Structure 1
Amino acid sequence: MVVAFDKCETRPASIDAILEGLDRYNPETTTVFQDYVAQQCEDRTFDCYANLALLKLYQFNPHLIHPETVTNVLVKALTVFPSPAFSLCLALLPPHTQPFPANAEAQASSQISDFVESVQKLARLSTLLESAQYAQFWSTLNSDDLYADLVADVAGFEELVRIRIAVEVGKAFRQISAEVLEQWLDLRSREALEKFVVEVCSWEIEKNGPNGTVIKVPTNKENEVRSEVKSERVDIDMFGRVLRRGFEQAA
């Protein structure tokens, strides 16, 4: 079942009341939404609709922008890829924060802002996840202390991302080399990998096979091999129209 975009099972009633009324456009509610973002970071929950409402308030009231809250929203959005949450949040930020500034003035301003640098670094991580460059994602994340600072407030960030990567791997593979999966999940030991695969994913491990240790993914509707027969129906009337147009003279 597809959950409605504006619904969140863990959303407090007080936040729901704001979103359903005119107070969602009241600048004074920014502090309430900011506290709610902090709660999401602690509880490992994510409420995209409420977070977008906060970013919209920032858009209307730029002087109220709280950079740490914005980056926390973006980091939380990374944990639910491949949903469009990150792109939606990024689109509500000021033009000069975007990964590709539209003009020289925006580019110049972006070079002196720590906030803009943070946003663009997170956009880089999003691009790597969306393009399934998982090993490069972890390498980039571990390459700069700023990344560690950006994700520090989000409890269980690495674990949440690993679970999302595993979900995507499970859609595309029936089996995968343990060595490759170690890199994709950034699990530095075979013991850690096997524990994650068995306890979190409920996948099977085949050791000492012809290709070394292989992770077996159960069949599901995404990775199941199915034959597909396509047919096209072409009748004489379709050819007739083409022939008539060939004899028609241009007006």
Structure 2
Amino acid sequence: MVAFDKCETRPAHIDAILNGLDRYNPETTTIFQDYVQQQCEDRTFDCYANLALLKLYQFNPHLLQPDTVTNVLAKALTVFPSPAFSLCLALLPTHTQPFPTTSEAQAASQTSDFVESVQKLSRLSTLLESAQYTQFWSTLNSDDLYADLTADVAGFEELVRIRIAVEVGKTFRSIAADSLEQWLDVRGREALSKFVADVCGWKVDGDAIRVPTNKENEARSEVKSERVGVDMFGRVIRRGFEQAA
């Protein structure tokens, strides 16, 4: 597994900042913001760098750029089920959280477009994490705001669709084509067949999709054995010979 602070596509100047004292320098926020935009354009994701930017925002609230934050969260959705979204969300101001606990936070959440955006993205994250894929797509398509929030992320739907397919492939060896169409939001049998063949490497078998065996979906028998020695019952046996008080 790749270390959390590593990213193969990270530019050298970003790596230098992250490994030096400049990562706490407010002047580097613009550099990190440009890097977020680069990730959106080239379909990469650097969680460690994005968290560093959100930490700078936490220390310097006046520097916070709502569009950059929502782009970070939208990018984090494309790498589920990693904890990236939750980690990013935890660094945002309290009043932006999905369930504000104080009256002040609740009042702020009712008046801020930024808070509404964060909470809508949190809703999408919850649906993905709970494997409610059909509901995820219907929610994503239900409001133009979702389209605005993900517009800067190149290939957002495709990236999420691939992640869903990966999770499905860990669970199933055979799945009804109709169900998979809904989970992937791929309409039409021809489009579905092309996706599962070209992207997933799966086979179409009539109305079913066959997933090759892998280490996650393979049925394996597990034999458990327990060693029970007499010494483990020593106390019980000893009590049997003790005189009642």
TM-score by length of 1: 0.93
Cα shift readout 1:74-110 (whole Å, capped 9, x = no counterpart): 0000000000000000000011101111212111111
Amino acid at match of 1:136: Q
* Higher mean C-alpha deviation, range 103-112 or range 180-189: 103-112
Cα shift readout 1:200-250 (whole Å, capped 9, x = no counterpart): 11100011xxxxx100000000001100112222323333346779999xx
Question: For 1:199 and 1:136, how far apart are their aligned partners in 2?
Answer: 25
Q: What 5-or-longer segments of structure 1 have no aligned partner?
A: 208-212
- Return closer, same or farther for 1:15/1:243 CA change in 2, 3 Å cut-off: farther
Equivalent in the alignment of 1:46: 45
- Residue 227 (structure 2) pairs with residue 233 (structure 1): yes
- Residue 112 (structure 2) pairs with residue 96 (structure 1): no
Amino acid at match of 2:81: P
- Residue 67 (structure 2) pairs with residue 73 (structure 1): no
Q: How many residue pairs were aligned?
A: 242
| Matching of residues 208-227 of structure 1 within 5 Å | 213-227=207-221
Amino acid at match of 1:50: A
Question: For 2:216 and 2:87, how far apart are their aligned partners in 1?
Answer: 26
TM-score by length of 2: 0.95
**Same amino acid, percent of matched pairs:** 83
Amino acid at match of 2:105: A
- Return closer, same or farther for 1:237/1:123 CA change in 2, 3 Å cut-off: same
- Return closer, same or farther for 1:102/1:239 CA change in 2, 3 Å cut-off: farther
- Return closer, same or farther for 1:3/1:246 CA change in 2, 3 Å cut-off: farther
- When the two chains are superposed, the root-mean-square deviation of aligned CA atoms in Å is 1.6
